[in-house]
Amino acid sequence: MEEWIIMASSLPLVFDAPKRGMPPRHLADLDAEQRREAVKELGLPAFRADQIARQYYGRLEADPEKMTDLPAAVRDKIGEALFPPLLTPVKHIACDGGETRKTLWRAGDGTLLESVLMRYPERATLCISSQAGCGMACPFCATGQGGLDRNLTTAEIVDQVRAAAAALRDGDVAGGPGRLSNIVFMGMGEPLANYKRVVAAVRRITSPAPEGFGLSQRSVTVSTVGLAPAIRKLADEGLHVTLAVSLHTPDDKLRDTLVPVNNRWPIAEVLDAARYYADKTGRRVSIEYALIRDVNDQPWRADLLGKKLRKALGALVHVNLIPLNPTSGSEWDASPKPVEREFVRRVIAQGVSCTVRDTRGQEIAAACGQLAAEADHR
């Protein structure tokens, strides 16, 4: 495990992607004022800004040629200025009778990323990526093993949502026409390491048209491995999204290896930031815990986890236990079901809510920790 400790000790204070050119601006990168300025630069009247935005956010249309309320003479100009090539689907892979669908996307610069749409009887949830790859280096996660390619732009994050909402509306997903209801930032990347663009994307996702798609903030979850200062900053944004903290063990010695960023912000500091978030927002914090056979599934760790969470967060916490999903080349495996049930029982005995996540997409490498964005995935 030494390599993970070395990587963590060299993490910069401010996380960012490797230096490379970012894609050109897209409509979804712009707030209302910036849209009006962009339309003005094109020599168009101000009302066109909201008109174009309603097409994108309200009608889920990203092709100016199909925006029939715009004069045909200006559609090309608008397309060139505000709708550069963004994300092209390389392939869709489905399981669960077609109700779980992973999409491999190719960005305009060739960067690959993935999103996963999961349809349930009462909701439709989209797991989106905020980075291409991930720089957090968690050894049990395929995305972290691949390293960080680059940050995604706000528009690249937002367009994953638009595409999924359009696919559901048009009946392209098994189960007939439907509506996208939930967003989880649990795909590729550490969301809080791409902070400004992720927060901007959350505002686009939750604001009503023409500012955004109008989803409830309470139906959006932002996950993090524990970037404590960014958690506190998010708490001050005035948003009411769910915060999910990937803790994975209650003791620092093991977490230093499972989640290398723990070398910078240890568990006590992460939980203190999580409490600040809960107090500021009134929202219960979700603690994500991937249960790994003979690594972090011991009864004493369940007891310690419950005690620490109860002390730090009181009733404003829920443990989301995740059976470890297999990744290529990993020597680790999920804990046996009896061990899993005993772990849950012990956490609950400490007065902390705990349930096991209904894992989907394992057979198509679409489950938590499996996203690798490889073009040759079958």
Give the catalytic positions in this structure.
114, 368
DSSP per residue, 144-179: HHH-EEEEPPHHHHHHHHHHHHHHHHTT-STTSS--
The Cα 253–Cα 23 span in angstroms is 40
Helix (H) or strand (E) holding 207: none
Q: Provide the 10 A C-beta neighbour count for residue 282.
A: 9
Is 106 strand, coil or helix?
strand
DSSP designation for 17? P
The Cα 184–Cα 189 span in angstroms is 12
Q: Backbone phi, then psi, for 124, in 5-degree steps?
A: -130, 120
Q: Provide the 10 A C-beta neighbour count for residue 337.
A: 10
In this structure, the strands spanning 182-185 and 100-107 are unpaired
On whether the CB atoms of residues 143 and 133 are closer than 8 A, the answer is yes
CA torsion sign for 145, 151, 153, 157 is positive
Q: Provide the 10 A C-beta neighbour count for residue 16.
A: 13
**Region for residue 241 given its phi and psi (left: phi exceeds 0; alpha: psi -120 to 50; beta: otherwise):** beta
